[in-house]
Amino acid sequence: MAARPERRRGAPGHVAAPPPTWPQADAPRVPRRVPSPPQPCGPDPNMAAPSGRRNGGGARLWAALLLAAAALRPAEAVSEPTTVAFDVRPGGVVHSFSQNVGPGDKYTCAFTYASQGGTNEKWQMSLGTSEDHQHFTCTIWRPQGKSYLYFTQFKAEVRGAEIEYGMAYSKAAFERESDVPLKSEEFEVTKTAVSHRPGAFKAELSKLVIVAKASRSEL
């Protein structure tokens, strides 16, 4: 039986059809993807602004930048910072610790609290002013991160200024751990203080941050 001749592709009598092409005018257009702008880092300064207050964009930006610096590196946040260590003492008795900052000690930050359980803990209060002395920061925290005391109450209060941003944390950043803020219903921010809300505060506190601006009487 004679072998059937093999038919090769491209042999005479066979024409390969070219792939279809789109006319230039009718070619489908693939939407060009525009990258999203980078999102700013750090907490939103509106998240814990005093109730009923709205600040200008410049003040919000300044507060956010100053807050981020104060929360991460208190010693570099503002000019001429002052950091003082103090003991937070349990026992259920109300204690208070305060420091002054600014020309003529024009600003005061005071931390008042009551706690139970455990033993004394070393905390720190860091204060500083902006270069024009119109803003100041007060950061109160436990450098080792989370406090193991049971707080029954707390208040961080400023004098000589009005609060533009305030935040409270159940856990402070330490090594690879990040700050853990309290739930908004656990505390309140007014023009002069960041304090617990009775009945809603769950007794955990490790850090407080305040950014304040000179009050009108001080301008």
Q: Locate the domains of the chain by residue range.
A: 82-214
Is beta strand 79-88 parallel, antiparallel or unpaired with respect to 161-171? Answer: unpaired
pLDDT in tens, the chain (219 residues): 555 555 554 444 444 555 555 444 444 454 454 444 444 334 444 445 554 443 444 444 445 545 544 444 443 445 667 999 999 999 999 999 999 998 899 999 999 999 999 899 999 999 999 989 999 999 999 999 999 999 999 999 999 999 999 999 999 999 989 999 999 999 999 999 999 999 999 999 999 999 999 987 655
CA 186 remoteness from chain centre: 17
CA 136 remoteness from chain centre: 17
Residue 206: exposure state from Cβ atoms within 10 A (0-12, 13-18, ≥19): buried
Residue 19: per-residue pLDDT: 52
Phi, psi of 103 (to 5 degrees): -60, 125
Query: Looking up tokens 């200008």, which residue turns up?
Result: 56
The reported pTM is 0.67
Residue 10: per-residue pLDDT: 47
Say if residues 206 and 141 touch (Cβ distance below 8 Å).
Answer: yes
